[in-house]
Structure 1
Amino acid sequence: MAFTRATGKHRRPSRAPRAVRSGANLAGIATLAATGVVAGLAAPALAATDDGLTVEDTGLRQAVAIGGELADQVAAQAQTQQSAADEAAAKAAAQAQARKEAARQAAEAKRKAEAAAKKAKQEREAKERAAREAERKRLNTFVLPITGSYVSTSYQSSSGLWSSGSHTGVDFHASTGTPVHSVGSGTVVEAGWGGAYGNNVVIKMNDGTYTQYGHLSSIGVSVGQTVTPGQQIGLSGDTGNVTGPHLHFEARTSPDYGSDIDPVAYLRSHGVNI
């Protein structure tokens, strides 16, 4: 006898396999959501199960929400990192600009310092040149042997007072003790007693001529000493062959007696107003 299956609806399979599959699906979705990959599974996962369970019932919405939060956190972290990178870049650029500005200021300061040093050097050299020129002029100038005096006895005046019969120099009016000055720059070649000239000083001038100062009451220089215009060399007096105190002044072409030249013309030729 043959057996036959009863007609009607097929017997519904056990729910256990479906539950296992649903659980597996949820686990996979949760895993994907944790990594932020949920978009591709969203459509099939939202379909209802054979048992009529919805997405809400399966917990998929919670998985999607968690995935969104993680994505927001990742985005926020990326934004923070980008902001930090931008801030570091801005700081580095500011530091580079500051270094560049500092270098520019240092170069400008150096340029100004060099310019100031150059100007100071030029001014110093100009002052030195002016001082040398002033000294040169001073050393080349001539002055009266007695300040503010005048010629009381002229050159080549005739008198029995002089052995040559005429005056070989000029006499400047002066009382005893009046300062006597060198008329210009030179070197003392004689300082002491000069016979009829009394105490006298003879100076070889820088231009090669000679000047003589006689009848001094005292002498203030020595042989070999250099003198400058206006330097005091002694005091006037009345030593030697004189009738009263005065300064006898001669100009000569050599240190020897008889080489005399006109003292007034000599002083005037050197710019002395006499």
Structure 2
Amino acid sequence: MAFTRATGKHRAPSRLTRRSANLAGVAALATTGVVGSFASPALAADADAPSAEDTGLTQIVTMDSLADEIAAQAAAQKKEAEEAAAKARARAKAAAEAKRRAEARAEAAREAEERAAREAERKRLNSFRLPVAGSYVTTGYRAGGALWSSGSHSGVDFRAASGSSVVAVGSGTVVEAGWGGAYGNNIVIRMNDGTYTQYGHLSSIGVFVGQQVTPGQQIGLSGSTGNSTGPHLHFEARTTAEYGSDIDPVAYLRSHGVAV
């Protein structure tokens, strides 16, 4: 009987087909017990098996390794960025804390300075001084003589050349500023402690009724107006604004810390 082959283009058997045939041959030889020298051709047939390059395994492994490396680099960069951000936050926090402490110290210093200034001003306003700086008493309290209508001196006289500055001995409010008869031009101040002081025989007056005055503030200039024998300052301390309520002016000033 004659065999015919189907018409068409003849193709060589594929590697997979050849490998399958070779494996079948090896199996047949093993069944008949013939293995010996024929084993080599069977193993050699495996050389025709698809290579790793043909299957694409090497490329897949290579791509996976590259992806892992990129991922590792990205993770490392992310970690570095997070650490840098954490350090930046820590520095910013430390700087903010340092600024806060500096501001707190500055505020405390400012408050201390303000307290010191207030205390100094309080002491100044509560302080007393001589009505004429550097002067001294020339006629004492209760000195007798015909010069005074009451028969005695109701205040003390401080040496003061005409035109010398006369100042408030302490803080208070002016209750009288003008002509005072025998006192000439005079000023009466109600002191903050409730007492009164009087300044007489002035050549000029520099304050007005209702004005607030402080220790050492100039209120007028000394002179010899009214019942006076020459330039000087007549100074009185009183319990009221009225004549006759006088108290010892030297004791009064000394009780307020003034050296007289």
What range describes the TM-score normalised by the shorter chain of this pair?
Answer: 0.7 to 0.9
- 1:111 to 2:79 alignment: no
- Residue 263 (structure 1) aligns with: 249
Alpha-carbon separation, structure 2, partners of 1:246 and 1:156: 17
| Alignment match of 1:60 (pick from 48, 56, 62) | 48
- Residue 218 (structure 2) aligns with: 232
Alpha-carbon separation, structure 2, partners of 1:77 and 1:97: 30
- Answer with 1 or 2: which has the greater Rg: 1
Other structure's SS at 2:187 match? strand
Matching of residues 1-274 of structure 1 within 5 Å: 23-27=12-16, 48=41, 60=48, 63-64=50-51, 66-67=53-54, 70-274=56-260
Structure 1 segments of 4 or more deviating over 4 A? 27-30
CA 1:198–1:71 in 2, change beyond 3 Å: closer, same or farther?
same
Q: 1:164-201: CA deviations, max 9, x gaps?
A: 11111111111111000000000000000000000000
Moved more, 92-101 or 164-173: 92-101
CA contact (8 A) 1:197 1:215 kept: yes
TM-fit CA distance, 1:29:
7.5
Gaps of 5+ in 1: 1-13, 17-21, 31-39
CA contact (8 A) 1:216 1:236 kept: yes
Alpha-carbon separation, structure 1, partners of 2:214 and 2:190: 12
Which amino acid letter does the alignment assign opposite residue 180 of structure 1?
Answer: V
Other structure's SS at 1:156 match? coil
| TM-score, length-scaled by structure 2 | 0.82
The percentage of counterpart residues that share the same residue type is 56
Alpha-carbon separation, structure 1, partners of 2:242 and 2:51: 134
TM-fit CA distance, 1:25:
4.7
Which amino acid letter does the alignment assign opposite residue 123 of structure 2?
Answer: K
- Residue 19 (structure 1) aligns with: none
**Aligned residues between the structures:** 235
CA contact (8 A) 2:141 2:156 kept: yes
Moved more, 191-200 or 127-136: 127-136
Which amino acid letter does the alignment assign opposite residue 220 of structure 1?
Answer: G
| TM-score, length-scaled by structure 1 | 0.78
CA 1:154–1:85 in 2, change beyond 3 Å: closer, same or farther?
same
CA 1:29–1:138 in 2, change beyond 3 Å: closer, same or farther?
farther
Other structure's SS at 1:48 match? helix
Gaps of 5+ in 2: 6-10, 28-38
Which amino acid letter does the alignment assign opposite residue 155 of structure 1?
Answer: Y
TM-fit CA distance, 1:136:
0.8
Alpha-carbon separation, structure 2, partners of 1:29 and 1:110: 80
- Residue 33 (structure 2) aligns with: none
